[in-house]
């Protein structure tokens, strides 16, 4: 029988208990239980909501090195059929945060056993998928006291091969904004449409109109995405819908494009109000700052990889994904990188299956790299 590496087993245990943003109670308890087995002399733990700050004391600290791992799952029904699949109906670690946590625990454990000179701060952050935990953690009294001098994080990348790390200086991930649009018209009998204001038809027009914003209003040399991921409306097949709701997300590479896209969405929604004689409300939900990798720190990491892990390095392009780690990088120098986990199914897919060998690889690269800081 295949012997399962300790941190792979931890990933599998965490994979069974995915929880949505700010509901990561079992996850927090699991992490605390694991940490309770480590030397109390070296490890100091502070709870923050459903997350944790964990300081690993160095031998003669001059600086604080930060590492952030996100801990929440997504509202997706898992379809992997794995023996350790999610035990929480309708929730899944479909963005790899189980892998992120197990890597963080692996690196943390290595430095409890063999401390660095400097202190390390491991940040187990809730709610990355929304509404966002990085910005409030950064503002917390705990992080004001334990303020890292440099900070790093990774994200799994199913599209990159096992044993690779993809990174770039500067912009890595997009600016994001959630998008919720509520339409209110007038319901009624399906056979009497002329007495109603049908919000199913209005929402269909609106979704179609939103598609033209990126192609017609955003500079083609810039980039933007508007995705409507969910539409709800109406009650039954023979009643005209009084209400409809669109839920989506906006991604842009520049702040200017974000402002353009929002102005155009507002104009389209005004047009729908006039055309369909309805009322509309727009809510932008949570917004994430772009992930901008500190060029000097990233160059140092690239140089390290070129020297020690040459075959693993990929210089990548920016992606339209969002990450609230961008807020931490806005204040503290550091970077984020992609860790190749080679899965035919991508992030946010019900069949995502990261190659678990990436866990050991990442722990080994990071424990080695941290010694160069
Ligand atoms: C890495 C990743 O997949 N991050 C999420 C962040 C979501 C932000 C927010 N809830 C939104 O949808 O705008 C992503 O979807 O990129």
The string of pLDDT tens digits covering residues 114-163 is 999 999 999 999 999 999 999 999 999 999 999 999 999 999 999 999 99
Could you tell me the pLDDT band of residue 366, with boundaries at 50, 70 and 90?
very high
Cis peptide before 23 (omega within 30 of 0): no
**Beta bridge mates, 52:** 47, 124
**Fold (CATH) for 176-287:** Alpha-Beta Plaits (3.30.70)
CA separation for the pair 175, 321 (Å, rounded): 8
What is each CA distance from 298 to 89, 301, 305, in whole angstroms?
A: 40, 5, 11
Neighbouring residues of 113: CB distance < 8 A, sequence distance ≥ 6? none
Let me know: does 69 contact 28? Beta carbons within 8 Å. Answer: no
Let me know: does 197 contact 306? Beta carbons within 8 Å. Answer: no
- Predicted pLDDT at 169: 98
Which tens digit of pLDDT belongs to each residue from 264-291? 999 999 999 999 999 999 999 999 999 9
Could you tell me the pLDDT band of residue 205, with boundaries at 50, 70 and 90?
very high
Looking at ligand 1, which atom is closest to the CA of residue 174?
Answer: 16
Which tens digit of pLDDT belongs to each residue from 4-56? 799 999 999 999 999 999 999 999 999 999 999 999 999 999 999 999 999 99
Phi, psi (degrees; rounded to nearest 5) at 2: -65, 130
Mean pLDDT of 80-106: 98
- Predicted pLDDT at 1: 45
Residue nearest to atom 7 of ligand 1 (CA): 129
Let me know: does 373 contact 303? Beta carbons within 8 Å. Answer: no
Please choose, from the candidates 134, 60, 119, the residue with its C-alpha nearest in 3D space to the C-alpha of residue 290: 134
**Beta bridge mates, 228:** 248
Could you tell me the pLDDT band of residue 309, with boundaries at 50, 70 and 90?
confident
Neighbouring residues of 307: CB distance < 8 A, sequence distance ≥ 6? none
Mean pLDDT of 293-307: 97
- Predicted pLDDT at 2: 56
- Predicted pLDDT at 3: 67
CA separation for the pair 307, 300 (Å, rounded): 11
CA separation for the pair 310, 227 (Å, rounded): 37
Q: Range with the lowest mean pLDDT among 2-16, 69-83, 95-109? A: 2-16
CB-CB neighbours of 91 under 10 Å: 20
pLDDT exceeds cutoff 90 at 74: yes
CA separation for the pair 26, 275 (Å, rounded): 49
Tell me what ipTM this predicted complex has: 0.96
Burial of 351 (0-12, 13-18, 19+ CB in 10 A): middle
Q: Is the pTM of this model over 0.90?
A: yes
Query: Could you tell me where in the chain the CATH 3.30.70.360 domains are found?
Result: 176-287
Q: Which residues line ligand 1 (CB under 6 A)?
A: 95, 129-130, 155, 176, 178, 249, 288, 321-323, 347
Looking at ligand 1, which atom is closest to the CA of residue 251?
Answer: 13
Active site residues: 70, 129
CA separation for the pair 101, 16 (Å, rounded): 13
What is each CA distance from 198 to 215, 239, 240, in whole angstroms?
A: 28, 10, 6
95, 97, 129: residue to mutate for ligand 1 pocket, most atoms within 8 A of CB: 129
CB-CB neighbours of 121 under 10 Å: 21
Looking at ligand 1, which atom is closest to the CA of residue 128?
Answer: 6
Looking at domain 6-173+290-370, its CATH superfamily turns out to be Zn peptidases (3.40.630.10)
Please choose, from the candidates 38, 65, 86, the residue with its C-alpha nearest in 3D space to the C-alpha of residue 149: 65
Q: Which tokens go with 231?
A: 């539409």
Query: Could you tell me where in the chain the CATH 3.40.630.10 domains are found?
Result: 6-173+290-370
Q: What percentage of the chain carries pLDDT values higher than 70? A: 99
Could you tell me the pLDDT band of residue 226, with boundaries at 50, 70 and 90?
very high
């Amino acid at each position: 029988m295949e012997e399962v590496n300790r941190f792979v087993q931890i990933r599998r245990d965490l994979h069974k208990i995915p929880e949505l943003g700010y509901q990561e109670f079992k996850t927090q308890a699991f992490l605390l239980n694991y940490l309770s087995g480590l030397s109390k002399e070296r490890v100091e733990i502070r709870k923050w909501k459903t997350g944790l700050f964990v300081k690993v004391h160095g031998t003669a600290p001059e600086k604080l090195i930060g590492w952030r791992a996100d801990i929440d799952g997504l509202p997706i029904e898992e379809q992997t059929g794995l023996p350790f699949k999610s035990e929480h109906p309708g929730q899944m670690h479909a963005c790899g945060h189980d892998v992120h946590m197990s890597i963080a625990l692996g690196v943390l454990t290595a430095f409890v056993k063999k401390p660095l000179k400097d202190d390390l701060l491991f940040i187990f952050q809730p709610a990355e998928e929304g509404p966002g935990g990085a910005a409030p953690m950064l503002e917390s009294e705990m992080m004001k006291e334990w303020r890292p001098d440099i900070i790093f994080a990774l994200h799994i990348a199913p599209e990159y091969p096992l044993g690779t790390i993809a990174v770039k200086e500067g912009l890595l991930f997009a600016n994001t904004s959630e998008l919720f649009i509520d339409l209110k018209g007038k319901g009624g009998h399906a056979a009497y449409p002329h007495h109603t204001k049908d919000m199913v038809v209005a929402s269909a027009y609106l979704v179609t109109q939103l598609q033209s914003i990126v192609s017609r209003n955003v500079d083609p040399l810039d980039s933007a995405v508007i995705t409507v991921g969910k539409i709800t409306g109406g009650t039954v097949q023979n009643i005209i819908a009084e209400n409809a709701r669109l839920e989506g997300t906006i991604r842009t590479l520049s702040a200017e494009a974000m402002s353009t896209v929002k102005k155009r969405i507002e104009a389209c929604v005004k047009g729908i109000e006039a055309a369909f004689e309805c009322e509309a409300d727009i809510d932008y939900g949570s917004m994430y700052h772009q992930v901008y990798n500190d060029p000097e720190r990233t160059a140092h990491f690239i140089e390290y990889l070129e020297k020690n892990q040459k075959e693993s390095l990929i210089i990548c392009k920016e992606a339209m994904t969002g990450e609230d780690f961008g807020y931490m990088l806005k204040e503290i120098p550091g970077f984020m990188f992609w860790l190749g986990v080679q899965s035919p199914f991508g992030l946010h897919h019900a069949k995502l299956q990261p190659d678990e060998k990436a866990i050991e690889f990442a722990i080994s690269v990071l424990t080695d790299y941290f010694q160069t800081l």
